[in-house]
Every structure is written in C-alpha cells, then in structure tokens.
Amino acid sequence: MYNAALRHVAERTARNVELFRDQFPHIGENSSYRLFPNTTWTNGFWTGLLWLCHKYTGDRLFAEQAQRLLPSFEERLAAGTNIDHDVGFLFILSAKAQWLEQGDEGARALALRAADALADRWRPEGGYIQAWGDKQDAVNGGRIIMDCLLNLPLLYWAAEETGDTRYSAIAEKHAEKSRRFLIRGDDSSYHTFLFDPATGYPIGGTTHQGLHNGSTWSRGQSWGVYGFALSYRYTKQAPFLDTAIRMANHFIGQLPEDGVAYWDFSADHGSEVPRDSSATAICLCGLLEIMEHLDEQSEDYRLLSDAAARMMGALVRISTMHEPEAQGLLKHGAYHVGANNVPDGYLIFGDYYYAEALMRFGRMSGSYW
C-alpha cells in the first residue's frame, strides 16, 4: 500500500512540475491548486515535497526544479516579503533541504541568514518569539502561536552549524514558554496566546483559525505534537517529549472512527462538518518522531504505533490516487473554516506531511526538520 501511495506522490508531483513552473501551489479546490509567486507562508512545502520525491525516485527532475526555485527564496528574504515566524517553514524545506541533499554551501548560507531573521523576532521582555507583525504592532506585539514550534528546528540547526548557542537558547526558551501557556490542563491547546509586550505579563489564550478561544483547533494541536517532539530531538529535555506524548494522546482520543480529524475538536460532529486531513498528516509525522525516542516495548510506543498505522491508512484512503485529474495529493484539507477559505480542499502542507509520513513508513529518511 505504501509503495503504491509513494509512486502516486512522485508521479503526480512530476506532472505538477510541468504545470506549476515558477509558481507555488498554496491551497485549492475542484481538482486544481491556486498558484502564487513566492509570497505566502506555505511556499517551502512545495520545495520540500520536491526534495522528498527526489530522495524517493532519484529523478533529477525534482532536484532541478527545487534548485531553480531557490533564488526566489533568497530574493524574498532580502526584500523582507512576509517574513515572520514562518521563516522556518520557508527555509528548512528549501535552503536547508538543498544543503542536506546537495551539500550546496550557498543554500547553507541562505538557511543561516533565515535563522538570523527568525532570531530577530525574539522579544526578551516577554521571553518569546513574536508570531506576526513588527515589534510595535499594537495587536500582535505580544502574540505567540503554536505553529512556531515547527519553525524552531531552524534555530536548533543553526546552533549546531555555527556553534552559536544563542540560536538554540532562543528556541528552547520559546518552546518552554509555549509549553507553559499554550497547553491546557487536559492536554488540549490554545492556538495563540497573548502577553503584554512591555512586561511579558500573560493576558490569555485566543484562537485565529479555531472555532472559539476555548476550543481546540485540530491543526494547532498537531503542530504541538510534532513541534514538541522536535524540540526534544534537539534538546533531550524530557518535558518536551512528555508534552508531545500527552498532546498526541489527546489528539488520538478525539479522532472519529475513520481516522481523519475534524477541523476543530469542539465543532459539532457529523457528515457535513469539515475535516482537516492536514492535521492528521502533521500529527502522524509527530507520532513517528515520538516513536523514534521510545522503547519499542513500552506501552506508549504500542499505543502510538497502533494509532499511526490507523491514521496512515486513513490518509491513503482519502488520497487522490484514483483521481487522475486532481493536482493535490490529499483531499479534505480545511484551510480556514471560519473565513470559508477552502474548508474542504487541497493544502500543500497537507500534501507535504502526507509524503513525509509515507517516506517514514517506508523506512526512508523523510525529515528535513
């Protein structure tokens, strides 16, 4: 099953290279992706998918296309176009991946400059990385966001590459701040949390894409599962792994029978309620990361392994393997349900994490984080 699914990923992605050319897929419906220049937060997932396909097939088509797109990332960083906490999503899966796959020194240097841009968002007054806006932003000056946890590996890696522990210190402190304030007592989570920008005093948890401030947006929960697991990979701080496991168990406990998460765990359940396959795919990658750090004989490993197999099977079943006209790989992604912005369609990050999970299930290294 997994080999057939991976072949579908590679074949569909090869066709999309010819269709997309110098544009980037972002979100889409009705068999097609919406294409953008290198301006959105998701652009790195396309290059990451290209590198995964190159790793799987050895076909130079994928590497050449990823390399062809890298100058647009360099131009974007130089211009400061939409550079915020998502800089890790952009440059881990483009510049860092190219360095890892090709030993390209220019790509390494670009990834390190991107790490500087992320470190520049550190706010010592509050001890966190600011998610959006500039430091003077009246609304967002004190905001952290769960998604940022998947960007921290850029800082951990930069510390390893340069020997400058400032990068890893920022990442670890931000992860701990997120652990303390984004995770609730029942292991559910806030999407974002606000602090007083001047003093760092905590104000309260909020949401940007969830149902309401007190709900649990499933994709936010999945960012936490994978993000804390990755912080454990780099720091070996036990609370990060424990938090990842507890969040994973909460996510698994909220899954419907078919294994594809509802877009928000507090949303009404039923056939008309949007699902979010990307949340399931991200969480699945998180489970696979956690399992690498557990004793295979442990109860935690057994429970997570069973859930991972169930979730992988669910994603393969809702893939577009038997829909030859579809540009996306994975159906039923929910981008922003509250804004009615692709509540049921394709998401390039869902496609990426689906491919990463398949690579890991196939015992091939599939992580650039």
Active site residues: 86, 147
Q: How many other C-beta atoms lie within 10 A of the C-beta of residue 58? A: 9
Joined tokens for residue 229: 């697991």
Residues 6+ apart with CB under 8 A from 56: 6, 9, 10, 359, 364
The Cα 186–Cα 292 span in angstroms is 25
The Cα 84–Cα 126 span in angstroms is 17
The Cα 66–Cα 112 span in angstroms is 18
The Cα 71–Cα 49 span in angstroms is 17
The Cα 314–Cα 259 span in angstroms is 6
Amino acid identity of residue 225, one-letter, is: V
Q: Are 179 and 190 in contact (CB under 8 A)?
A: no
**Which letter does DSSP use for residue 290 in this model?**
H
The Cα 59–Cα 189 span in angstroms is 41
Joined tokens for residue 139: 């609304």
The Cα 218–Cα 255 span in angstroms is 10
- Which strand (E) or helix (H) includes residue 235? helix 218-235
Joined tokens for residue 309: 């197999």
The Cα 49–Cα 54 span in angstroms is 9
b/e string for 322-338 if b means 16 or more Cβ within 10 A?
A: eeeebbbbbbbbbbebe
Look at residue 135 and give its three-state secondary structure: coil
**Residues paired with 324 in a beta bridge:** none
Q: Are 44 and 50 in contact (CB under 8 A)?
A: no
